[in-house]
Amino acid sequence: MFKEPTYLDNHSTTKLDPKVLDAMMPFLTNNYGNSASQHYFGYVSSEAISIARKKIAVLINSSDEEIIFTSGATESNNLALKGIVDSYKSQGNHIITTKIEHSSIIDVCKKLEQKGIIVTYLSVDKTGMIDLLELQNSITDKTILVSIIFGNNEIGTIQQIQKISDICHSKGVLLHTDATQVIGQLNVDVRELNIDLMSFTSHKIHGPKGIGALFIKQTTPKILISALIDGGGHEKNIRSGTLNVPAIVGFGKAAEIAKSELLTNSNFVKNLRDKFETKLQLIDGIKINGNINSRLVNNSNITIPNIKIKNLMRKVKSVAFSTHAACSTMDGNISHVLNAIGLNKNEIESSARFGFSKMNTEKEIIEAADSLINAIKELQNSSTHIISHTNISNN
């Protein structure tokens, strides 16, 4: 009888919470109105969106007016960078980011460079942390935006966003952060952190795919951001298009659950991660990547010596995990994040990412670790045998 693999790829996406599906169902069936329509069906949908927007705002301590719905974090990142550059191009042509951003930041920056924008890519240390002094020294009178990932999607390193924010605002520069992996894992207060723009999405917190948000702080003077999509003036003329009511309702419910369960889930997931890593460290030479003291609780990125992770993935069909970011695997390149923290090609090809969630159990985590350990030992023994045999043959 087929047994479903243990899912440890929760950085890529998460399983839909049944309570989220229950909240969405009426808007997939009877409550099907367009929220912009001026009749009963439209009113029902519009009210549902308003309620969901408030729940999402509560999660990050913003006002609901500061939440702009998008199709996901990738669009939010595109909207933030391209929208700010277009709006402030008369004031400067320089933006700052890091070498370990998600591809939806890196790729946008490469496109902007082709249009004359100067981009500074900050280096990181071996744990994935940026140098705050380098950030401060990189800001010029032409800098219009700093975009720093909050929690890295591969190695889990959490940046010092509060200090980064202080530096940016002392220089009069806007701060955007990609908080996709952080929301739901730790308490994010945009007021306390003084964040100007923040991208996040639903499907990383057990909500539906295809719906995300961009937080844009209400301030005086107003933060200007040009639209990427025109046609109808939805979302304050920033993101036109018929709103995805079922997904927005699901996003709102997922945000509500994430807020109410935050401490419980964070402690539970961290315990799973720690048990998993403790078991795997029985393998000689295993190295945990990222900043051990400032890391997402659901993240474990491990370099396993003398094996190729793709071989491990083929051998262990009972555990679903990844080599690096799902979006990055589309181009077939090695991880730019692991490269940025100093790993060589062999080390990168020997590194795996494991992501845990509230829907995992301690029993399956222990079983997954045991399966991986057994497979790693077999692969390492096989590798040692081949090397030894080759050496004998060459003598």
Contact (CB, 8 A) for 279 and 370: yes
Burial of 358 (0-12, 13-18, 19+ CB in 10 A): buried
**Residue 327 a catalytic site member:** yes
With beta carbons less than 8 A apart as the criterion, state whether 290 and 127 touch.
Answer: yes
CATH of 18-256 given 3.40.50.11540, 3.30.470.10, 3.40.50.720, 3.40.640.10: 3.40.640.10
Name the phi and psi angles at 145, rounded to 5: -155, 140
Higher pLDDT, 284 or 382: 284
Which of 60-69, 130-139, 385-394 is the least confident region?
385-394
Lowest mean pLDDT among 98-112, 145-159, 219-233, 355-369: 219-233
- Which of the residues 327, 359, 366, 373 is marked catalytic? 327
Identify the H or E element spanning 87: helix 73-88
Q: Which strand (E) or helix (H) includes residue 319?
A: strand 319-320
Strands 174-178 and 299-303, by their bridges, are unpaired
Please tell me the predicted confidence (pLDDT) of residue 388: 40
Enter the tokens of residue 284: 């000689």
- Does domain 6-13+262-385 fall into CATH 1.10.20.140? no
Q: Taking the model in full, what pTM does it have?
A: 0.94
Q: Is the dihedral of CA 166, 60, 327, 341 positive or negative?
A: positive
Least confident of 28-32, 232-236, 375-379: 232-236
Residue 394 reports pLDDT greater than 60: no
Q: Does residue 156 contact residue 355 with C-beta atoms inside 8 Å?
A: no
> What amino acid is encoded at 339 in this protein?
N
pLDDT of residue 382: 81
Task: Tell me the domain boundaries of the chain.
Answer: 6-13+262-385, 18-256
pLDDT at position 384 is 52
Rounded CA separation 135/122 (Å) = 7
Rounded average pLDDT over 216-225: 95
DSSP 162: H
Q: What is the pLDDT of residues 127-179, one digit of tens each?
A: 999 999 999 999 999 999 999 999 999 999 999 999 999 999 999 999 999 99
At 332 the pLDDT is: 58
What does the pLDDT look like over 9-46, one tens digit per residue? 999 999 999 999 999 999 999 999 999 999 999 999 99
Tell me the C-alpha distance between 85 and 224, whole Å.
10
Look up residue 253 and give its two tokens. 């419910």
